[in-house]
Amino acid sequence: MFFKPIGSNIIRLNDVYSTNNYAAELLNQTNLPNGTIIVSERQTKGRGQRGSSWESEPGKNITCSIVLYPNISIDQSFEIIMMAALSVYDLLNERDFDPIKMKWPNDVFVRNKKVAGILIENSISKGKIQHSIIGIGLNVNQTSFRNDKAASMLQLSGKEWDLNQLLDQLLNHLNGYYLKVQQKQSLMSLYEEKTLGWQKNRTYITDSGREFVGKIVGYSADGGVKILSEEETKNYQFKEVQFVI
Ligand code: BTN
């Protein structure tokens, strides 16, 4: 047995604007133990990537944030993203969801529907991650979404799922991958083959609106993606390119 820091301190809330914001505020006021998790039944202002909002009906889904002090440099920041995405992947895989794809950097799709989203906010000083707030939203028992690209585990399987059991197992997976990250074992080879567009042609759009077809041939340790198109192989950062889905 190994010590499982993630989830060793659990803060349960009924109502909060965003578990990520709440975690950041707590960190400003106090020293939270490594691996503290904040779970809320309801978020009134759940946040997504690229300034979007995160839709989640009260009591139906998992919305949580984990605080870590991972002691790694910013060049390794992608390990944290992969750790979260792989944990969600495993959770779904164990329950026979298929096919599951992670969409770079950290969305999780089942049969082309987004089941989970991850929002990681790092505080950086002297080239190192001081703390990382890992926000995870997993759609579990919700039966309809405004966003037609989203779906829940219930919608995809026809079954209701126990939120506490799912959270426990999510924490187990996170602890397992976190141990690897601490031991400096990269998660890259586990991650890349499970990603959408890996070695397969797809359409992308750049931040300047240029559409092109290419295949993902690599990810970089700092979180970039390497796409091979007819003209070139190019590295992109998160804001520079998006999938056309
Ligand atoms: C995405 O846009 O895909 C990321 C969504 C992240 C949602 C989670 S829910 C818990 C945590 N708190 C937030 O406000 N956002 C994240």
Dist. CA 145 → ligand 1 center (Å): 15
Q: To which H or E segment does residue 29 belong?
A: helix 19-29
- Rounded CA-CA distance 111/196 in Å is 11
Q: What is the pLDDT of residue 221?
A: 87
Dist. CA 242 → ligand 1 center (Å): 18
HSE (side-chain half, CA atoms, 13 Å) at 238:
15
| Mean pLDDT in residue range 223-228 | 95
Our mutation pick for probing the ligand 1 site, out of 54, 170, 242, counting the most ligand atoms within 8 A of Cβ, is 54
pTM metric for this prediction: 0.96
Sole residue written with tokens 């870590």: 68
Farthest CA pair distance, the chain: 52
Question: What residues are in contact with ligand 1 under a 6 Å CB criterion?
Answer: 18-20, 43, 46-49, 52, 54, 63-65, 107, 117-119, 135-137
Dist. CA 230 → ligand 1 center (Å): 35
Q: What is the pLDDT of residue 220?
A: 92
Q: What is the pLDDT of residue 110?
A: 98
Q: What is the pLDDT of residue 245?
A: 76
**Closest ligand 1 atom, residue 20 Cα:** 12
Which token pair is 160? 């209701």
